[in-house]
Amino acid sequence: MELTMAVNTHALFYTTKAFVPTMLENNHGHVVTVASIAGKVGVSGLVDYCASKHGAIGFHESLTAELDALGKDGVKTTVVCPYYIDTGMFDGVQTKSPTLLPVLQPQYVVDCIMEAVLTNKEMISMPRFNYFVMFAIGSSNMSTFFQPSQIDPSSVINNFQPIANRRLTRRQRLFGW
C-alpha cells in the first residue's frame, strides 16, 4: 500500500516541486499527470491502486486550479486516464471485453500523450470507451465491467519491477519504449 501511494500519488508532489517553479517563472511548460480510469471507477481487489489514482486525479484538478488562479496561462496541464497498459505491471490480465477495453500498447499511449500535449488537451482517456464510462459513472455496473477476469490484486505492485531493474532492449534503454 505504501509503495503504491508513493509511486502513484506522492511522486507527483516531488516532481511538481522540482519542475513547476521554473515553469511558473517562465510562464511556460506542461505538466502531464498519468492517472488511470481506475481513478474514476473503483475496481474490486485494487483498492490501494484505485485510491492512489483517484489521488492523482485530485492532484491534477487542484494543480490546474492553482495555475489558473495564479494567471499562469502558459503552464498547461493534462491528465491521462488509460485502461491497462502492457508494461509488465499487470502481466496476465485479461479483459472481459478486449474489443471495447483492450490492454494498451505503451507506444500507443505515448503517442496519445504527445498529441494531447501538442494540442493542449486537458484530459485524455484511452481506449475511447472510457469516455462512455466517465459519462455513465453513477452506474453500479461499471465497476464490475472494468474488473479484469484474471488478476491477482496482491501482486500488482508487489511484483512490479521498475524499468531500471528489468532487462531492456537497446531501443528501450535509448528511447524508453
pLDDT, tens digit, for every residue of 145-159?
455 544 444 444 454
pLDDT, tens digit, for every residue of 23-35?
999 999 999 999 9
Report the pLDDT value the prediction gives residue 87, as an integer from 0 to 100.
Answer: 80
Alpha carbon distances (Å) from 98 to 39, 49, 64, 83, 104: 20, 22, 33, 11, 10
Predicted structure pTM score: 0.72
Instruction: Tell me how far apart the alpha carbons of residues 83 and 81 are, in angstroms, rounded to a whole number.
Output: 7
Which among 14, 49, 84, 108 is annotated as catalytic? Answer: 49
Cis peptide preceding 148, ω within 30 of 0: no
Instruction: Tell me how far apart the alpha carbons of residues 169 and 157 are, in angstroms, rounded to a whole number.
Output: 23
Of the candidate CATH numbers 3.40.50.720, 2.40.50.140, 3.40.640.10, 3.30.450.20, the domain formed by 2-175 belongs to: 3.40.50.720
Q: Is the pLDDT of residue 72 over 80?
A: yes
Which comes out higher in pLDDT, residue 132 or 165? 132
3-class secondary structure, 33 = strand
Q: Are 81 and 101 in contact (CB under 8 A)?
A: no
The domain ranges of the chain are 2-175
Kindly tell me the burial class for residue 130, based on how many C-beta atoms sit within 10 Å of its own C-beta (0-12, 13-18, 19 or more).
buried
Does the active-site annotation cover 83? Answer: no
